[in-house]
Amino acid sequence: MNLAQITDNIIETAQKAANFIRSEREKFSISDILTKGKNDFVSYVDKTSEQIIVENLKKILPNSGFLTEEGTESLSEKQLIWIIDPLDGTTNFIHGLEPHAVSIALRDGNTLVAGVVLEIGKNELFSTFKDGGAFLNGRPIHVSNIAQVDNGLFATGFPYYDYTRLPQFMETLAFFMNNSHGLRRLGSAATDLAYVAAGRFEGFYEYGLHAWDTAAGALLVCEAGGKVCDFSGQEDKWLFSGEIIASNQAVFDTFKSEINRMMC
């Protein structure tokens, strides 16, 4: 399997979806929103973007399966699985805010092997494939080398439906506000992870996520020299655990330890 060529094809697919999303931004209305659950929104833009992505990916690997946010395809018992978020940051999009992104990953068995995050607002294309490095608009990127939490900038995402761990989560906010350069909440987990890969953030953590939120971005982090795990420190369970820690290698142990102390 030629992962470099497949990644190029994923990039073309992501760009087609992003072009559609851009074309709809000016005409989009709040009346176009559907509610899937508390603070969980979808629109025809998400659904059509996903259809564009699925139709194009089927041409790349005809026998592959799909794990998609909006349920366009639900074939998830194949060796090769596409993991797709057609519009990560939907709430940002419907309010005219950035970032919002297209996120596409390919999983071979239990291994993520390719990923693309296209942040639409700044038109930044993050791409990677296993053992091939990570790139931003074709240029190599790497995680930062900052080794101290108090010298780092971190990102998180606020829970939007699962508030059972809110007291512990609020403790993490207070900690990083007091013990780092700051904490950011952008509203797009895929973008947050891409920014860790690019060295803009030292680390990112969040709970209440799905595989399509994190798959491509986490592979970017790993291929850019970083590390990923769940809140308990397991590096092989995070994709479907609903929680993630991602950071550069230098700060990883300390960052993981602090999250574990407060959230587990």
pLDDT digits (tens, 9 = 90+) for 147-188: 999 999 999 999 988 899 999 999 999 999 999 999 999 999
pLDDT at 180: 98
Provide the domain count of the chain: 2
pLDDT-derived band at 75 (thresholds 50, 70, 90) equals low
109, two tokens? 């068995």
CB 117 within 8 A of CB 217: yes
CB 181 within 8 A of CB 152: yes
pLDDT at 74: 61
Instruction: Give the domain range for residue 111.
Output: 3-141
Specify whether 131 is located in the same domain as 153: no
Specify whether 61 is located in the same domain as 190: no
The pTM for the full model equals 0.94
Strand order in 80-88's β-sheet?
Answer: 65-68, 80-88, 101-108, 111-119, 124-129, 134-136, 139-141
Specify whether 51 is located in the same domain as 115: yes
Residue in 114, 112, 122 with CA at minimum distance from that of residue 188 = 122
CB 218 within 8 A of CB 141: no
